[in-house]
Amino acid sequence: MYEGILPLWKEKGMTSHDCVFKLRKILKMKRIGHTGTLDPSVEGVLPICLGQATKVSEYIMNEGKTYVATISIGTSTTTEDADGEIVEQDKTAKHFSREQILQTLAQLTGEITQTPPMYSAVKVNGKKLYEYARKGIEVERPSRIVTIYNLELLDESTSFSGEDITFSLEIKCGKGTYIRTLAVQIGELLGFPAHMSALVRTGSGSFTKSQCLTLSEVEEAKNKEQLDPSIYPIQYALESWPKIEITDDLEKSIGNGQVIPANPLLETNEKLVFTKNENPKAIYIKHPTKSGMMKPEKMFSTEKGD
């Protein structure tokens, strides 16, 4: 069976779950997980975790993402993207200088507050928001703080004029950012209804488009027994934290997942990766209640299998 992280290029028209379902058939294995949903209308980088790598999917999900989005000024929709019904339309002639747009983007860079759209998978009282939305029920949505690392205007125009204005952005952002909502926020600052009319995820953590395979390419490589070079080891998701090769005196304790005295590296690092022959065996964190001790957060077996 395969072990590691497979960077997949998710094509339009499929959900992230569809991709996992198809990969289970192609690779003939059950233990497969994705690293965060991409809407069916969005294409882009979707790292897939195979075998024991499913244990590190949350770490990949917590890393930053890069998108290229098309922002449309003049129309807002129920879903904040091109798939929704029109809520508001402003057909007046509009004119923005490049400087106006750049100033707007600067206001939305850094830590910003977002309210998730009604058509989203955020849960309120145990139900996903889109379940309420489909029934026409409006509920109070919890706001969240997200981080926008960089917003780059990709269009080179010096001015933007017309009834409907569109421009493209490269967006580098942290976990939990809604690009659809960001499009609406850009419109609000410019004084008009807006929505996100197109979106491509060009990067997820350290994975980029150049590393990705489509589903058909995965199937072709698998049939030719050439898929292994495209699968990245679990260590790829653990690069942020220090690694220590397990010593003989600690091997049994760590192998059994025991609580042990804390390593000084945990004073300045969130996690510590213990390796055996450079392969990850366990991820340890500070013990939440026992001062000076550490406990395992994840354990990895040496055996490969489904």
Q: What residues act catalytically?
A: 39
Q: How far is CA 281 from CA 52, 67, 182, in A?
A: 11, 34, 40
Strand partners, 298: 283
| 178 in Cβ contact with 153 (< 8 Å) | no
Query: Alpha-carbon distance 113 to 115, whole Å?
Result: 7
Long-range contacts of 273-277 (CB under 8 A, 24+ apart): 273/235, 273/238, 273/241, 273/242, 273/243, 273/244, 274/243, 274/244, 274/245, 274/246, 274/250, 275/243, 275/244, 275/245, 275/246, 276/245, 276/246, 276/251, 276/302
Query: Alpha-carbon distance 5 to 87, whole Å?
Result: 41
- Residue 142's Cα: distance from chain center in Å? 20
Query: Alpha-carbon distance 116 to 105, whole Å?
Result: 19
